[in-house]
Amino acid sequence: MILVLVLLPAACAVLCLALPARWALAAHGTGAVATLVLAATLARQVLSSGLATAAADGTFRADGLGVTFAVVVAAAAAVAALSGMGSFETQGEAAPLARRYAVLASALLSALLATVLADNLGVMWISMELAAVLGAFLVGFRRDRGALEAAFKYMILGSAGLVLGLLAMSFVYKAGIQALGHGDSALSFQALKKAGPSLAPGTLRIALALAAAGYGVKIGLFPLHTWKPDAYAAAPAPVAGLLAGGAVAVPLCALLRFGALASAAGEGQLTSRLLVGAGVVSVLAAMILVVRETDLRRILAFTSVEHMGFAAMAFGLDPMAMRGGLLHLLANGTLKALAFSLLGYVARERGTSDTQRGPGLFGRSVGLSAMFLVTMAAALGFPPFGLFASELTVLRALYAGGHVAIGLVVTLSLAAVFGVVATGVLRVVFARSDESLPGARGSLADTAAVAVPTLAAMAWVGVAMPPGLWNQLLAVAREFAP
């Protein structure tokens, strides 16, 4: 089951190679949805039984954390793939580009799933490295100067992060050798966690600090976020959705695994402080940095810094907050994927994604305006959608845990970012401008067919989350919280 889940998108990528562009896009979309269904089935199986399943001699192992992140990644990928289908020309000269996107995005999904489901830390690292390479190709997809620069920045900063992550892994292996002896088991997350109390805490402290610095780059926590706005602005819309919704959550999963190992060795307090510190600083910095941006894509990139910081902070608190953090990642991933894809259509309709220029969207397409407004409201944490529920859960845990100062800072930052983004969105939709553009209207029905079910699902998560699932998430949080 795990191997099928990891290999399905890879097989889909190979299939896309052989298909004509239009069919390749469809195959990518179908593959992503099938992957989501598989991931959800696996998650249900693992979460309801509370037992992890292993595959390939224990190289892969679906534990509570892994399956939750697998669902996050697959959901973002499915939404991005389906809603982004209309972003590519499938006729004429641009057709090979569409096929290339389908191949790369499918392969990226496979690498991301392998990363979150790997039990062997070495396999986890290699998968993440593979994802970084594929991600760089996708960011530089348009091959103009801006895209290549953004891709290079993404690549070089990400590589530096990966090198530090590799060093962190060496330190963990060192601690593992002392407790478990040489061999694969000293790199197995499961075995290491079980041997937790006998791991040398000093070694794991260094490993955790290195992992936080290294994977912090890939998550895009302040001040290591600088690649994010460039990459998301340069990448094609569905790619930005996949990266912002799914790919950034994956290194967070890796960091949580290092945190869980450090906590098992008795360094829970350090883990907690590190995650909360990095998270709060990111939320605060995102608020300050987002103000001067005028391009809606870059604004969304900074809200990604904010939301990943928020999730990291939640993971550093108690299990109740961590449960909210897991839900936050799911809601944020899905809604970001949808928001970026829709933004692609909005930019095409208006000729720009800049909030200060261009005609109002409302005058050009009422249907798209409505969809865009609702999606952005959901992505900003408006009730009744999932993000509202998750933010409320985390904030409640924050205040209940006596972290009133942090709670106030975070609440204020969320409100301020909300204000900035909402202003930008409203301007984009209702701007008055004399500029007239040639009509380039795409089919609205296709987009609505994805956006409406996605939003409905998120509203369901926000309002009517089944208590059983909610408790299962708490069990995962109890297992992995510092």
Partner 1 sequence: MDRLLSHALILLVAIAIYVLASRQLVRSIRAFAVQSYVLAAVALIAAPKSEHPHHLWLLAALTAGVKGVAVPLALLGAVRRLKIRHDIEFIVNIPSSLVMAAIGTLGAFQIASRTFGTGEEQLKGALGAGMATILVGLVVMLGRRKIITQIVGLLIMENGVILATLGLTLGMPLIVEIGVALDVLVAVQILAIFAYRISNELPRGEGPPP
- Could you give the CA distance from residue 133 to residue 378 in angstroms, rounded to a whole number? 31
21-49 and 467-480 are packed helices; what angle lies between their axes, rounded to 10 degrees? 80
Please tell me whether residue 480 binds partner 1 under the rule CB under 8 A: no
Q: How far is the CB of 258 from partner 1 (least distance, A)?
A: 16
Task: Give me the torsion for CA of 430, 435, 439, 445, rounded to 10°.
Answer: -10
Interface stretch with partner 1, choices 74-82, 159-167, 251-259, 305-313 (CB under 8 A): 159-167
One residue of 13, 151, 301, 389 binding partner 1 per CB under 8 A: 151
Q: How far is the CB of 239 from partner 1 (least distance, A)?
A: 17
Mapped onto helix, strand or coil, the DSSP state of residue 222 is coil
CB nearer partner 1, residue 19 or residue 166: 166
Please tell me whether residue 182 binds partner 1 under the rule CB under 8 A: yes
Burial of 160 (0-12, 13-18, 19+ CB in 10 A): middle
Please tell me whether residue 183 binds partner 1 under the rule CB under 8 A: yes
Please tell me whether residue 126 binds partner 1 under the rule CB under 8 A: yes
Please tell me whether residue 340 binds partner 1 under the rule CB under 8 A: no
Please tell me whether residue 159 binds partner 1 under the rule CB under 8 A: yes
Q: How far is the CB of 125 from partner 1 (least distance, A)?
A: 7
CB contact set of 385 (below 8 Å; sequence gap of 6+): 331, 335, 377, 378, 455, 458, 459, 461, 462
Please tell me whether residue 104 binds partner 1 under the rule CB under 8 A: no
Could you give the count of Cα atoms lying within 13 Å of 73 in the half-sphere of its Cβ?
33
CB nearer partner 1, residue 30 or residue 190: 190
Structure tokens at 67: 């399956």
- Give φ, ψ of 60 to 5 degrees: -110, 145
Q: How far is the CB of 155 from partner 1 (least distance, A)?
A: 6
- Could you give the CA distance from residue 8 to residue 5 in angstroms, rounded to a whole number? 5
Q: How far is the CB of 167 from partner 1 (least distance, A)?
A: 5
Please tell me whether residue 122 binds partner 1 under the rule CB under 8 A: yes
* Residue whose token pair is 């289908």: 85
Please tell me whether residue 5 binds partner 1 under the rule CB under 8 A: no
One residue of 69, 173, 258, 315 binding partner 1 per CB under 8 A: 173
Please tell me whether residue 123 binds partner 1 under the rule CB under 8 A: yes
Q: How far is the CB of 223 from partner 1 (least distance, A)?
A: 12
What residues form DSSP beta bridges with 295?
A: 354
Q: How far is the CB of 220 from partner 1 (least distance, A)?
A: 17
Are 353 and 295 contacting, i.e. CB atoms less than 8 angstroms apart?
A: yes
One residue of 18, 20, 37, 144 binding partner 1 per CB under 8 A: 144
Are 232 and 340 contacting, i.e. CB atoms less than 8 angstroms apart?
A: yes
Please tell me whether residue 177 binds partner 1 under the rule CB under 8 A: yes
- Could you give the CA distance from residue 461 to residue 330 in angstroms, rounded to a whole number? 10
CB nearer partner 1, residue 29 or residue 229: 229
Longest dimension (CA), the chain: 72
What track of x and - describes contact with partner 1 for positions 190 through 219 (by CB under 8 A)? ------------xx--x-------------
One residue of 140, 245, 279, 324 binding partner 1 per CB under 8 A: 140
Q: How far is the CB of 184 from partner 1 (least distance, A)?
A: 5
Please tell me whether residue 174 binds partner 1 under the rule CB under 8 A: yes
Q: How far is the CB of 152 from partner 1 (least distance, A)?
A: 5
One residue of 133, 416, 437, 475 binding partner 1 per CB under 8 A: 133
CB contact set of 100 (below 8 Å; sequence gap of 6+): 141
Interface stretch with partner 1, choices 20-28, 158-166, 232-240, 332-340 (CB under 8 A): 158-166
One residue of 56, 97, 148, 392 binding partner 1 per CB under 8 A: 148
- Could you give the CA distance from residue 338 to residue 381 in angstroms, rounded to a whole number? 14
Mapped onto helix, strand or coil, the DSSP state of residue 59 is coil
One residue of 26, 44, 52, 184 binding partner 1 per CB under 8 A: 184
CB nearer partner 1, residue 81 or residue 186: 186
Burial of 419 (0-12, 13-18, 19+ CB in 10 A): middle
Please tell me whether residue 156 binds partner 1 under the rule CB under 8 A: yes
- Could you give the CA distance from residue 74 to residue 33 in angstroms, rounded to a whole number? 8
Please tell me whether residue 10 binds partner 1 under the rule CB under 8 A: no
Cα-only R_g, the chain: 21
Interface stretch with partner 1, choices 136-144, 403-411, 424-432, 435-443 (CB under 8 A): 136-144
Are 171 and 207 contacting, i.e. CB atoms less than 8 angstroms apart?
A: yes
CB nearer partner 1, residue 116 or residue 376: 116
Alpha carbon of 72 to those of 244, 304, 403, 421, 469: distances in Å? 11, 15, 28, 24, 15
Kindly give the pairing relationship between strand 53-55 and strand 60-62. antiparallel
Angle at 130 between CA 125 and CA 135, to 5 degrees: 120
> Which residues of the chain form contacts with partner 1 (CB under 8 A)?
120, 122-123, 125-126, 129-130, 132-133, 136-137, 140, 143-145, 148-149, 151-152, 155-156, 159-160, 162-164, 166-167, 169-171, 173-174, 177, 182-184, 186-187, 202-203, 206
